[in-house]
Structure 1
C-alpha cells in the first residue's frame, strides 16, 4: 500500500457503457432510451456533487457509439461536471473530423471535455475499422494505425496552421496557414490515453497525455490486478517526469462498486462474489479486476486495500445503465455520501 495514499482526495465520476436491449427486463430498450437517460444521469450526477460523466464508445453494438452529440447535449444541460469518454477507438477516427467535433463539444461545455482515447478494444465485427474506410499501412498493425491517428490528432491539437489557404476563398481567411476549426484552447491538456500495458502507459507519459487505466490490463507479472495497476501508474508518472512535462498529469482508474444499503441493492448485487479473473483478450493474457459489493462499512475496508485506486486521482464508477437512471443515481449517491468520505476521497 502506498503510504498515506488512502486519504487522497479524488475526482469521482461515472462511466457508462450505454447498453440497450429490447428485453422487457431492461430500462433501456432502445438507443433513444440510452441517450436520453445518459443526459439525465449526468444532470443528476452533477446535482449529487459527482465530478464526471464519462461514456464508453463501441461500434457495431447496441451501445453508445457516437460520443460528441451526446457530450455536447450534456454540456448544454450542465455547468460544472466534467464530460468525457472512456475510451474512443482511434482506429475508427479521422483525426481532423475528430478535432472539429471535439472542439465544438468543448466550447459548448465551456472547457469541461475530458477525452479518453486508445488504440481500441475487441470488436463486434472483424476489422470493423475497414468499414469506416481505414486500413493499416504496409508493415503496420491495426494498433499502430490507432496510435498514428492519435499522434496526428495530438499534433493538430496545438492549434497551429498547416493547410494552404485557397487564394480565392468563399470567405475571407486569417493570414497564414489554416488550422482545424473550431479550435478549443486547453483541450490538449485534457486528452487521456487508455493503456492496457505498462509500455503504452509509459508512451502516454512520454508524449504528455493523461493516463486512463481500466478494469483490465495485460497480465505482465501474475500479481493481483490492483498491484499491477499501481505499478503501471508509477511507470507512467516516471515517464512523464523524465520527459520534462511541466504540468501535473491526471490518472484515472475504473471500478464497479455497489454499496448494499437497500433491499433493491441486495437483490441486484448481494450474492455477487468477485475476485480477479484471468483470460485471453486480443491475443494477450489479461487480468480483470474484481467488482465490489458489500455493506458500506465492509466496502470501505475492502477499498482501503486497493492500490490502484489509491494511486489515482480520479475514480470512474462503472454503472449498470440498463437498471435505469434512478437506480444509478442512487448508487452514485450511496458512494458519494456513505463510502467516499470515510476513505478521505471527499
Structure 2
C-alpha cells in the first residue's frame, strides 16, 4: 500500500479529500492538521505521497514544501488549496509540488492527476485499500463553515490579485456567533487607532440573509490608489474606488459560498456605511438593531509587500443559521 498523508487544518477538508480518492487506489492514510504534524509523519515513513493544503496554522503549506526540499525527504506532494492565485501556483511549483488542484478536489481530476504522475496504476488491487475505513472524525459546524469560507475567499483573492497586480496573503477565516454589541471584539485587530472607511452590502438567498461589511484603513487608501494607477492624495473617485473593490471581494466571496452550499444569493447595492470613522463602534452603531445576534465570518486579506489590509466580515442573521447549518451538513454527508 502507498503511505498517503492528507494535510489540512480543516477536518471537513480532509473528509472531502479522502472521499474524493480513487476507490481502487490501495493506500494507508495518515492525517495531519498542520505542517509540523505532516513533517513528523513524513519522517516516520507515513507520507510517500502527500495531499497538502497551503493556508494552515503553525506551519503553512509553503513552509512544508520548502522543508521537504531542504531535507530531501522522499515525498511526492500534490497541493490541494482554495488559494487559486496564479502566483500561488507558480510558487508551489518552484518549491517542488508535482500538481496543484483547487478545492474542493474533483474526484476525476484527482484520479487523472495521480495516473499522469505515475502515483497509481490502473487496475491496482483494492484488497489492501483502506480509504473507506479511515476515521475522518466528526466535523463541527464552525469548522465546516470555516472551510467553505476558505474556498470562497481564495477565489475572491485571485480576482483581487489580478486587479491590483500583487500577491494576496490569505488568513484562516474566523467564525463566531455573538451579540451585535460585541461586534467590535471580532474586529479588534482591525481597529489599530486608525480612521476607518467601510462598505456594506446586503445579501439574501433561500432564507439565508445577511450583510457583508468591508473595512478600509484610511492611512492605506493612498497605497491602494497607487496600485490601481491612480494619483495618491486625490480624493476624487475614492468612494467609487472603494465600492469597486468591495464589489470584487464581497461578490466573489459570496458567490464562492453560494456555489458550495447550492444557493443563489441576490445582492443589494453596495453603499458606503461611513468614511473616516474613528472607531468600529461608530461604523456599526446605525445597524445594531438589525444585526442583533449574528453569525460572523471574518477574513483579513493582506497585500504582500504593501502595508494594506482589507477586513471583510460576513454577517449572517440569527434566523439564517438553521438553514445554513443544514446546507453545510449536506456537504459533510
- TM > 0.5: no
Normalized per residue, the structure richer in strand is 2
Q: So what's the TM-score if we normalise by structure 1? A: 0.25
Q: Which structure ranks higher in relative contact order (CA pairs < 8 Å, sequence separation ≥ 6)?
A: 1
Q: So what's the TM-score if we normalise by structure 2? A: 0.25
